[in-house]
Amino acid sequence: MKLQWERLTRTYGAKTVLDLGPGAIESGRITGIIGPNGAGKSTLLNIIAGLDAPDRGQIRYGSAGENGATRFYDEIPRERITLIFQQPYMLHTTVEKNIAYPLKLRKTPREEIKRRADELMKDLGLTPLAKQKARRLSGGEMQKTAFARALSFNPELLLLDEPTSNIDNATTADIEALLRRAKSGGGVTMIIVSHNLPQIRRLCDDVIFMNRGKIVESGPADEVITNPREKDTRTFMEGGLLL
């Protein structure tokens, strides 16, 4: 899924938290959004997810048509988008039923639901926990279940807000491997908001650096992280304070 906008602004009271000029996120790529606290990263992600609305401007969502041209939707295609929060919400049921839930909503045949759930549980080492109540899992196991549930219906747009900030390294490695496989399968665009620069470097094709509600710099991940053009970006990458 491709995203593009001409102008986006969002204010809360008298404070402008987002003020963006023209921008786009390309289809089939992993884009990282980075920047200091209060930069507007989560606000932008929530607007993309349809959880918030801009005061001015709109985001256009497009998929490739039959001739390869991008076909834009008239409204947010919510059924093709999923969002994973830092603290995942688990339904009051088993691991396998949590994973199967989006497929049931879409009236997927029972055999396909089982096949897809079994495949994802195997990929993430959740098979022994299939019948366990999801709310009794450890934090890392819950996050794995949330990822499996989010990917179960093959979304076109996957949005991630600090997705591995509270879990161990082994679980993080499993989730990153799953994301790489999902990308290599084609068709999914991912946007990751994170303070974890090593993870952004490992996973992302492109990076957007934000500060004070604006996009300061964007481009290929290696260029933005290792050879930024803008002074504020360099300061942030070097661990300096942006005042």
Q: What is the pLDDT of residues 182-213, one digit of tens each?
A: 988 777 999 999 999 999 999 999 999 999 99
Q: Which amino acid belongs to residue 4?
A: Q
Structure token pair of residue 202: 């490992």
Q: Which amino acid belongs to residue 168?
A: D
The pLDDT of residue 66 is above 80: no
Max CA-CA distance within the chain? 56
Cβ-based neighbour number of residue 66 at 10 Å = 6
Indicate the SS3 state at residue 53: coil
Of 150, 159, 71, 157, residue with least CA distance to 116: 150
The pLDDT of residue 85 is above 90: no
Residue 25 phi/psi, 5-degree rounding, is -125, 125
Predicted confidence band of residue 64 (pLDDT cuts 50, 70, 90)? confident
Beta bridge partners of 211: 214
Residue 131 phi/psi, 5-degree rounding, is -95, 0
Cβ-based neighbour number of residue 76 at 10 Å = 17
What pLDDT does residue 213 have?
96
**Is the pLDDT higher at 166 or at 233?**
233
Q: Domain ranges in the chain?
A: 2-86+155-237
- Is 57 in contact with 8 (CB distance < 8 Å)? yes
Give the residue-averaged pLDDT of 63-68.
76
CATH of domain 2-86+155-237: 3.40.50.300
Distance from C-alpha of 41 to C-alpha of 12, rounded to nearest angstrom: 15
Distances (CA, A) of 140 to 71, 131, 170: 38, 17, 9
What pLDDT does residue 116 have?
96
Indicate the SS3 state at residue 130: coil
Distance from C-alpha of 218 to C-alpha of 220, rounded to nearest angstrom: 7
